[in-house]
Structure 1
């Protein structure tokens, strides 16, 4: 038996289907009834699960306790993406991003760890290349992912001697609804910026949106991402980390070896190019 959080759409849904195809009974965490109806199939049991709601996490724990099957893995995939400059993102949204992308993962891990210990299972935390390299306007999202990486390292060193393996998966560009929503969400705080903030950050926000759209369009499919996650969940001796997508490993590698200032200049150059492409497209679309 495997739990997959954030299984309503995209990578989570594809992972649930791939694991079910491999013969696992999957408890697929969804937040809405119509998502449950959409994903329900052979081997997939939808579970009403918002990882920020203790009563729903508790109900999942009880469901697992009543099942004679061992809990093989927890795939923590639930998450949200909010992008805005550090100065301009309201503190309520900072706290919400961390609540969903970090504290919710910790809460469900704490709740299910006794079952994972009994079954010698594993924890698969879905991070991001943003957990290794933080782009402008990614402060909240990358901050939570950096923290998730650290928590995963600590957890791995605590529970590996007890028979539970901990794996981090770091996707790059993946063509999912979350990425599309992230672009739209990035513009919401921008509409509330002061004129001074808009002057400071308006152009970088547009450049980042262009890069996000490009990275998503050229990214791997959710099914491809699901196969990597399934490998992390099922292979006998998993690596501690897996990347997804052609862009993930190079970006993480550069972040590891390049001096900060060099990486800053590289990112700034990329943004200038993106800004130029965006401006050219805008001029082209405005021609009669």
Structure 2
């Protein structure tokens, strides 16, 4: 723990869930954590020894610049940036409005790039690391996950490019791919999916209504049996602290299984596996 004292870590999306648990775990290990939250009440709930909440919406350039200035003004080195902020929006490709596609990519991809660009000078000076929180959705795209998985696939590609650009200068880039985690994000995702389903045309609802319900059921069951936020936070903290981190970590047994299957099965076979797994979640006929 002593070796981490007087080092900074920035964690985004720290209001609840994995982000909040990660901020607390890293503070426990001796880091000074700048924890990005969007509301004052979240800041007060999180504030404690070693945790300094900062108002940060990663899609707002002014707030990104303010965090970069806060880091630049601190004499302590920036050890890591944990890009954890994200939203989950699920709908069939045909039925998801373009404004929602853009919003998902703004939060789940472009915001991370903006903050990474702003903090890279500090990370290059300290030979620190970037931890990008992806998902099993960054490897395999389930039905209705087009926007979410699309942004995560892109984040994985950006992570690969960035790693090959900055590792020669001592900066490590690590991707974490969690499976089901018991956080509020999945609950909010189900509510958003149901809201978007009400906006589908009658024809779209006939095509996809059962699928949306099946995905919501699968998401709920996967979340209920998934890791706790604290367990996921310990995996993130390991990526932050281990001297020689791997380029990628699967977080949770379900993530490890799905990633393994995506490597060994053909696309058509994987399609059948997913369809079979979804079938039991479809609503029963009246």
- Normalising by structure 2, report the TM-score: 0.96
**By how many angstroms is 1:271 displaced?**
1.1
1:83 alignment partner, one of 61, 81, 90: 90
Q: Secondary structure at the match of 1:109?
A: helix
- What RMSD over aligned residues (CA atoms) do the two structures have, in Å? 0.9
1:124-163 pair list within 5 angstroms: 124-163=131-170
**By how many angstroms is 1:253 displaced?**
1.0
User: 1:212 and 1:183 mapped to 2: Cα distance?
Assistant: 8
User: 1:250 and 1:271 mapped to 2: Cα distance?
Assistant: 16
2:102 is matched with 95
1:115 is matched with 122
2:3 is matched with none
User: 2:278 and 2:106 mapped to 1: Cα distance?
Assistant: 30
Q: Secondary structure at the match of 1:87?
A: helix
1:15-34 pair list within 5 angstroms: 15-34=22-41
Q: Secondary structure at the match of 1:279?
A: coil
2:268 alignment partner, one of 261, 266, 273: 261
1:222 is matched with 229
Matched, 1:174 2:184: no
Q: How many pairs are equivalent? A: 279
Q: Which runs of 5+ in 2 are unaligned?
A: 1-7
**By how many angstroms is 1:273 displaced?**
1.5
1:39 is matched with 46
1:286 is matched with none
Matched, 1:51 2:35: no
1:248 is matched with 255
- Normalising by structure 1, report the TM-score: 0.96
Matched, 1:279 2:284: yes
1:196 alignment partner, one of 177, 191, 203: 203
User: 2:194 and 2:145 mapped to 1: Cα distance?
Assistant: 13
User: 1:157 and 1:261 mapped to 2: Cα distance?
Assistant: 32
User: 2:196 and 2:224 mapped to 1: Cα distance?
Assistant: 24
Moved more, 180-189 or 18-27: 180-189
Residues 60-86 of structure 1, C-alpha deviations (whole Å, 9 max, x = no match): 011011100000000000000000000
User: 1:182 and 1:244 mapped to 2: Cα distance?
Assistant: 20
1:237 is matched with 244
Residues 25-45 of structure 1, C-alpha deviations (whole Å, 9 max, x = no match): 000000000000000000000
User: 1:130 and 1:253 mapped to 2: Cα distance?
Assistant: 13
Q: Secondary structure at the match of 2:245?
A: coil
Residues 184-225 of structure 1, C-alpha deviations (whole Å, 9 max, x = no match): 111111101110000000011111011000000000100000
User: 2:260 and 2:79 mapped to 1: Cα distance?
Assistant: 31
User: 1:234 and 1:51 mapped to 2: Cα distance?
Assistant: 24
**By how many angstroms is 1:279 displaced?**
2.6
